[in-house]
Chain A
Amino acid sequence: MKAFDLAEQFQTPVILMSDLDIGMNDWVVPRLTWDDSYRPNRGRVIDAEELATKIKKFQRYNNEDENFVTPRTLPGVSEKGAYFTRGSGHNKFGGYTEIPDEYQEVMDRLKKKHAAAAKFIPEPEVVSREGARFGVIAMGGCDPAVREAMDQLDRQGTPADYLRVRGFPFGEGVEKFLADHDFCFVVEQSRDAQLRSLLTLETSVPKEKLKSVLVYGGFPLSSRHVVQGILSQL
């Protein structure tokens, strides 16, 4: 539900990450609950009445708010609110343009909008341990195996803090965790260390502070992989 709300609030696709092991097997899950007080957040949508009474001329990519989101209209509401979502260059009024400055202006707004979205995505989960010497970072389907590995490492006398990334663009919580640790292991089911790459591209962390534990043989991640991968690099 949060993903749908974010998609509408920021008028952008939201991708939910899963993995093969979750998608292709049956799982026992806790009983699902539903909050009856929930109401969807449709974001900035101008309806027929507002178009008729308050809007002189609707301009699709103009009138941005503090998060650089501009209001939209829905099809079938009013001729006054019609606009064309085009694949080629357009200006902030929603019109076709081949003038570089006009197109660059709307592209710059999108960059600022995506940066603003970082404040609204789910904060990372952090599990801190007494005496931790380093951090461990993972995401998605890696989480249960990494949590189990953290317990095992603690029992073996190597406590570490754990951060589970829950959204991108990264928020302040990720930056703080990286800054608070001398070095971190990034655990991924990826040959190419894509999460580590994103962290080095999108945060201020020096890349030598990030070590990879990569598991991509095809089997689901186990705590054994994580423990061995970390201990072999300490």
Chain B
Amino acid sequence: MPSIAKPIATHPTLQRNALGLTIRDYEGSMSTLCAGCGHDSITAAVIRALWELDTQPHMVAKLSGIGCSSKTPTYFVSGAHGFNSAHGRMPAIATGAAAANRDLLYIGVSGDGDSLSIGLGQLCHAIRRNVRMAYILENNGVYGLTKGQFSASSDVGSKSKRGEANRMAPIDPVRLALSLGATFVARSFSGDKEQLVPILKAAFAHRGFALVDVVSPCVTFNDHEGSTKSYKHTRKNTLRATQADFVPPQSEILAQISKSGTTSVTMHDGSVVNFTAVPKNYDPTDRRKVAAYLDEQPANAVVTGLLYIDAGAPDMHELGESSPTPLRDLVYEKLCPGSGELDRLQEEFR
């Protein structure tokens, strides 16, 4: 059965951003996920963040792997190119695309199965290379498409829909990213749009790899009593470690930066992440302190917020000293050094 087409008509009073676009201009096709799926709330947050940032739709590239999460790039920004990769292979596709055109905003959407099992190596190396992309990990602790098996992020003791408890220790994407040297690490909850939207905006502005782990309940297979990724459990155990506001560069002068802010981090493009609430002695720019803070929290706590940021680390292009002009835009005469350079190179081997 074909999916239902969205109506094109929009309300004439819809607010427009600096590009003259309404929020509906950032939507995609109609979701075919289950009603109430957390992933659809994340999609709505992505749309909101891109609209508020005045992002040109065609300057976005959407990528994903396989899984329920990986269906979602079709549900936002239909004016952007999108790509479903093989299972777990989205980071390699994104790395290649970013190498060819460094000017696009790369949004990778993945899930806990796609990222932490079959694609774990891919995720690790994208972090290591500091590929400039926002990597949204829609984390529901379960393989939804294949009908509810435990994933690598399922907590010990968390119960499946039929009552079986998981015994294997989970891989925590936040701790993994911190240990691998990720330059932007955040966790949020699909049901907390107020927190998620500013985190996504900061992730989109980050010059490097931005991991955003979003607990996103699966209403069909993992939203019952005994699940540790359900709406009820997440709401009950969420611990907001930080609250961050994102101030884009064009409005920086006008923005009222809260006096209660404890830390402000200036991003590469001039935007500012203003931390308005953090625990005592918490420094979101100190990797070791962040890791220590996470260790101190109760095992069942879902610690959320923009947890760590290093806005100054070199990204893949800086590490590789690649051309500031996207390779895609270089004329052939500049892209190919020609026979003379090949001769010179070969002389070096004599």
Contact = CB atoms under 8 A, between A and B. Distances in A.
Query: Real complex partners, A and B?
Result: yes
A96 B74 contact: yes
Contacts of A97: 2
A74 interface: yes
A75 B346 contact: no
Contacts of A33: 339, 342
Nearest to A84: B82
Given A32-B342, A96-B29, A98-B2, A74 B328 contact: yes
Interface residues on B, range: 20 to 34
Contacts of A73: 81
Nearest to A72: B81
A86 interface: yes
Interface stretch (B55-63, B229-237, B315-323): B55-63
B345 to A, nearest CB: 9
A32 B328 contact: no
Contact of A86 (B79, B84, B338, B339): B84
Interface in B56-84: 56-59, 61-62, 66, 70, 73-74, 78-84
Interface residues on A, range: 20 to 34
B104 interface: yes
A113 B61 CA distance: 27
Nearest to B64: A87
A229 B91 CA distance: 47
A82 B57 contact: yes
B104 A76 contact: yes
Given A34-B338, A76-B101, A77-B58, A82 B81 contact: yes
Contacts of A65: none
Contact of B79 (A31, A40, A74, A82): A82
Contact of A87 (B3, B57, B84): B84
B339 A34 contact: yes
Contact of B103 (A31, A76, A79, A82): A76
Contacts of A81: 58
A39 B338 CA distance: 11
Given A75-B61, A96-B3, A96-B29, A36 B346 contact: no
A84 B78 CA distance: 8
Contact of B66 (A32, A34, A77, A87): A87
A85 interface: yes
B58 A85 contact: no
Contact of B73 (A75, A84, A96): A84
A93 B326 CA distance: 29
7 tightest A-B contacts by CB?
A: A79-B79, A87-B84, A84-B82, A75-B81, A34-B339, A79-B58, A85-B83
Interface of A: 31-36, 39-40, 73-79, 81-88, 96-99
Given A82-B79, A96-B2, 16 more contacts: A33-B339, A36-B339, A40-B332, A76-B59, A76-B103, A78-B58, A79-B57, A79-B80, A82-B57, A82-B80, A85-B84, A86-B74, A87-B84, A87-B85, A96-B3, A99-B2
Interface of B: 1-3, 29, 56-59, 61-62, 66, 70, 73-74, 78-86, 97, 101, 103-104, 328, 332, 338-339, 342, 346
8 contacts: A32-B342, A34-B342, A74-B101, A75-B81, A75-B101, A76-B104, A79-B58, A84-B81
